[in-house]
Amino acid sequence: MRQAVLATILLAFVVGVLLRFGPHRLAPDREELHRPTAQIHPQGERLGNFVVEHARDQTRLSLSLRSPLCRAPVYVTSGSVFGSAPERLMAFRFPEPPWRTVYVYQGRALGHFSRFDALLDFFWGRLKAQLSLSRLDAAESTYFTFRMPAECRLSNEALLAVSRQILERANRGAGPRA
């Protein structure tokens, strides 16, 4: 029994050292998502089936998108699994009966987002990246919150396409297209 406990402690130590002092920083570079949003996504730009109506310059990506399928705009914000949770504020601003919420994280559209599960996923991915010496990207720690009118039935694939396009641009470090 003592040997099993000692082996577990040693394994935890090795994993901790790899996560802390490995070749990559703890969090991937998300600088592109934190630049002023209006510079990255100008008004009128196409993101999937949507058109950027308005970009708010905040510390996190925040866009108002228009779709021909919805009468009102669709709002999308980015969040970090490490940051403070804006979900309560957003739920107050967009109450559930007239609004519907979809979270997009790691290529999945979710009706509910668990920050604890996302952190576990991140640390597991971080351990795999350290062991394989691969690079982490912004998708590992970034999730998107889509707020849309309840009667607007956009497909999850359309929301996934928007988040994929935003993350690809962040990973490339590209500015707005000409």
Q: What is the pLDDT of residue 61?
A: 79
Overall average pLDDT of the 76-96 stretch: 70
Assign 170 a pLDDT band (cuts: 50, 70, 90).
confident
d(CA 143, CA 106): 7
Question: In which order are the strands placed within the sheet that holds 46-47?
Answer: 46-47, 50-55, 62-66, 74-80, 142-149, 99-105, 108-110
d(CA 111, CA 142): 16
H/E element, 161: helix 156-172
% the chain with pLDDT above 70? 71
- 119: tokens are 């952190």
d(CA 43, CA 39): 10
From residue 175, how far is each of 49, 107, 168 by CA, in Å? 20, 23, 11
* Count of Cβ atoms closer than 10 Å to residue 117 Cβ: 13
Q: What is the pLDDT of residue 46?
A: 87
- The full set of domain ranges for the chain reads 49-174
| pTM of the predicted model over 0.85 | no
Mind listing the pLDDT tens digit for each residue in 24-72? 554 444 454 555 555 667 778 888 888 888 777 666 778 889 888 888 8
Contact 81, 115 (CB under 8 A): yes
d(CA 96, CA 42): 29
Mean pLDDT of the residues in the chain: 76
Mind listing the pLDDT tens digit for each residue in 135-153? 776 677 788 889 888 888 8
Q: What is the pLDDT of residue 3?
A: 92
